[in-house]
Amino acid sequence: MTIETSPSFGPSDPSDPSDHAAARAALLDRPGLTGRPRRAALARLTDDWLAGLLAAAGAPSSGVALVAVGGYGRGELSPRSDLDVLLLHDGPIAAELPERIWYPVWDAGAKLDHSVRTPAEARAVAAADLKAQLGLLDARHLAGDGALTAALRSAVLTDWRASAPARLPELRELGRERAERHGELSFLLEPDLKEARGGLRDLVALDAVAATWLADAPRDGLEAAALRLADVRDALHLATGRATERLSLQDQDQVAERLGVLDADTLLRQVYEAARTVAYASDVTWRAVERVLAARSGRGRRAGRPAFRFTGAGRGTGAVARGAVARRPLAEGVVEQDGEAVLAQAARPAADPVLPLRAAAAAAQNGLTVSYATVRRLATECRPLPVPWPDEAREQLVTLLGAGEAAVPVWEALEAEGLVTRLLPDWERVRCRPQRNAVHRWTVDRHLVETAVRAAAMTRRVARPDLLLVAALLHDIGKGWPGDHSEAGEVIVRDLAARMGFPAEDTETLAVLVRHHLTLVDTATRRDPDDPATVEAITKAVGTLPELELLHALTEADALATGPAAWSSWRASLVDGLVARAAAQLAGGGSAPVEAAPSAEQERLAVEAARTGAPALSLLAQAEGADPGSEPMGVELTLAVPDRPGLLGTVAGVLALHRLTVRSAGLRELDPIGAGPVLLLSWRVAAEFGELPEAARLRADLRRALDGSLDVSRRLAERDAAAPRRKGIPTPPPLVAVAPAVASATATVLEVRAHDAPGLLHRIGRALDGAGVRVRTAHVSTLGAEAVDSFYLTDPAGRPLTAGRAGEVAAAVRAALG
């Protein structure tokens, strides 16, 4: 938008600096003139002044032009912006001509960045200096020979497009260096509006990328973000009277008042939201650029594939349109293409409300991000999740959080399109909320995500990694509500946990963790550790040893995610000591979990297996929380087999061959007719890619594997060897430990905690079989992407293992898991 400057604001004599200064002051004081209209009016006023200076300097009518470049070239001037001006000429000019233009500008107090060049010189400087080239991309004619300016603009754009393959990586590196120096605008209490990541410089870079015609940024919300940042900079200039870009704490109240914003916190939230829009658009754009440049390097064309073309916000499954490319399956409805997770061609977003979480989890677990167009499509086509959530949705959220660092860009993509707030409505109150505490590095919402990232590295320390990760994500959800945020958070998390489908017992645990997430560190640093009342305060808060373990891990993850000043070896030692005392008080005798009585169907299968000496099984498909008529997502498999070595690993291997993921499993012995023990295996499994195997085929393969005609291990090895190698993400190493003897009086309990992977239970079962021990009972759980398993072992005579023997078995399992 261009605002014509009123004649009363124009200087009567362009060479008189006081006239221009008075006109400029009158314009800035004009009531109701703010934002972009004021910047445009200020640019027009300056244009007229400089044009008058060129004429007064006696410039020839041809062969000389005055050109605005950089920010001034874009036609918008903030109150204290520099004037970037090029005096362009195509032949000799009078030596005094530039001085007749520059000196009045300096006398007026304006900060001037000036140069005098021929078109050839300007192009040569641009070829050597990327920043100069970027400035020339915004060249705008002010006065003089317009054809000279037009020719330069055309040449500069041609040069820019021709040099784009070399210049774009350099431009991206400049952005990375700025981000390292100035940080991320979205999280800084005193952000640099121009240089920080997500700031005004990044908007210039996005326009430069668009000028290459190779890629373009997603435009939704980008213009509004640019206007917000520019308006805040204007208000900052006027409030301080200086050409500053740093929104300092002492200036934020004045800037908020000038903009008519409620307070400084509201101002920062608006700035953060704008910066996130810019940063996300930058991420999407640079990924598109990388794909384009990779294609142009020859790899794509040598393979006979056409070059990439960025498609923006279209309805396709990826941000790049191209010919046939490899699409590797990641999960049901999700495939990998060009280094991103996109929707499979058969995906049905409108009928699959879990798809956003499934796509996000699959992407994060494979170290990918979700393509821009895919996230857009998920946001527009997917229905909200039913309440309470189906089990799969909860498991996929835990899987996403368990990916650690790899979850952050995926979470940002979901948040950019409003999917996070749709999943967790209370997230809106903490989104972009600043924390005015020097200890905190992040806004409230990003701190919650960072805490989950830290907690993902601690999942081996707790028996319920799913509760740890969800508590980490929600522990500060009460910030933004009146009163103690821990108390408010307890109320909120009870509602959220019920919404997410957690059972009552787990909901209570989450509420305890959120309510007391500061209790350990506060008590350890402020109370006498030797006072029995100190330990009692902790045991009353948590009540059980598993809850204490969870609270300990959450406390550490929270502190590490806060910032360097929030955690130290001294604090860690105090908390560790307090936890050790509380654990000793909470510890007591244990036993194997009490098994429910076998159902009538289980007893029938056990009797059949005992009488026939052959396996008996039943399959029951279930559609978890889905609409009637939807495809089944889970299978309850019950298998009764006369006791024999290697049974657990063999059955698990067959399930892995059929791409069935074990969500939970149980194994126990029955003797229904007194003819000898029958092992009863109860499995809850899900199809990896949504299609369940035929029951008859699964039954046949189980029998073949049990009679030895199907070599499960060889088939799995062949499939793994044929599968494409994917880098994946770093995960904590497996934990294999022998539980204390009090865990069971009749068996040795081996606990295994590991990142879930195809064939994991098969490898564990083979290792136990190879060690010559009997698995009397097993309890297997997959919580998100983490397996938490317990195996009750005896020797062949049915006795608990000796300490030495138990250690050997643990070592064998550890070796099998790598």
pLDDT digits (tens, 9 = 90+) for 512-567: 999 999 999 999 988 887 788 889 999 999 989 999 999 999 999 999 999 887 88
Q: pLDDT-derived band of residue 322, with 50, 70 and 90 as boundaries?
A: very low
Name the percent of the chain lying above pLDDT 90. Answer: 64
Task: Give the amino acid at 749.
Answer: V
C-alpha atoms less than 13 angstroms from C-alpha of 129 in its C-beta half-sphere: 10
> Has residue 115 got a pLDDT over 50?
yes
- What pLDDT does 1 receive? 35
Short-list 779, 730, 734, CA closest to 754: 734
Stated pTM of the model = 0.87
> Has residue 203 got a pLDDT over 60?
yes
Identify the residue whose tokens are 């400035």: 135
For the sheet with 369-370, list strands across it: 328-331, 334-337, 340-343, 369-370
- What pLDDT does 369 receive? 96
> Has residue 158 got a pLDDT over 60?
yes
- What pLDDT does 759 receive? 86
- What pLDDT does 624 receive? 47
Return the top range by mean pLDDT from 91-95, 270-274, 703-707. 270-274
Q: What does the DSSP 8-state code read for residue 197?
A: B
Q: pLDDT-derived band of residue 688, with 50, 70 and 90 as boundaries?
A: confident
- Cα separation, 743 vs 746, in Å, equals 9
> Has residue 31 got a pLDDT over 70?
yes
Residue 28: which residues within 8 A CB-CB, separation 6 or more? 38, 42, 79, 238
> Has residue 336 got a pLDDT over 80?
yes
Q: Is the peptide bond before 388 cis (omega within 30 degrees of 0)?
A: yes
Q: What does the DSSP 8-state code read for residue 794?
A: E
- What pLDDT does 643 receive? 77
- Cα separation, 369 vs 411, in Å, equals 9
> Has residue 2 got a pLDDT over 70?
no
- What pLDDT does 380 receive? 96
pLDDT digits (tens, 9 = 90+) for 723-762: 666 667 888 899 999 988 767 788 999 999 999 888 899 9
**Structural Rg of the chain based on CA atoms:** 33
- What pLDDT does 625 receive? 44
- Cα separation, 690 vs 685, in Å, equals 11
Identify the residue whose tokens are 């509420």: 511
Q: What sections of 599-676 are H helices per DSSP?
A: 600-612, 647-657
pLDDT digits (tens, 9 = 90+) for 262-320: 999 999 999 999 999 999 999 999 999 999 998 887 654 443 333 333 333 333 333 44
Work out whether the CA dihedral 32, 36, 42, 48 comes out positive or negative. negative
- What pLDDT does 14 receive? 63
Residue 255: which residues within 8 A CB-CB, separation 6 or more? 232, 235, 236, 239, 247, 264, 267
- Cα separation, 621 vs 635, in Å, equals 4
- What pLDDT does 116 receive? 96
> Has residue 488 got a pLDDT over 90?
yes
Backbone angles phi, psi at 667, to 5 degrees: -135, 135
| 294-298, 304-308, 678-682, 687-691, range with the lowest pLDDT | 304-308
- Composition of the chain by helix, strand, coil, percent to 5: 55, 15, 35
- Across the range 375-397, mean pLDDT stands at 96
Task: Work out the mean pLDDT of the chain and round it to a whole number.
Answer: 88
- What pLDDT does 633 receive? 53
| 305-314, 324-333, 661-670, 794-803, range with the lowest pLDDT | 305-314
> Has residue 626 got a pLDDT over 60?
no
- What pLDDT does 13 receive? 62
- What pLDDT does 417 receive? 95
Residue 7: which residues within 8 A CB-CB, separation 6 or more? none
Name the percent of the chain lying above pLDDT 70. Answer: 91
- What pLDDT does 621 receive? 66
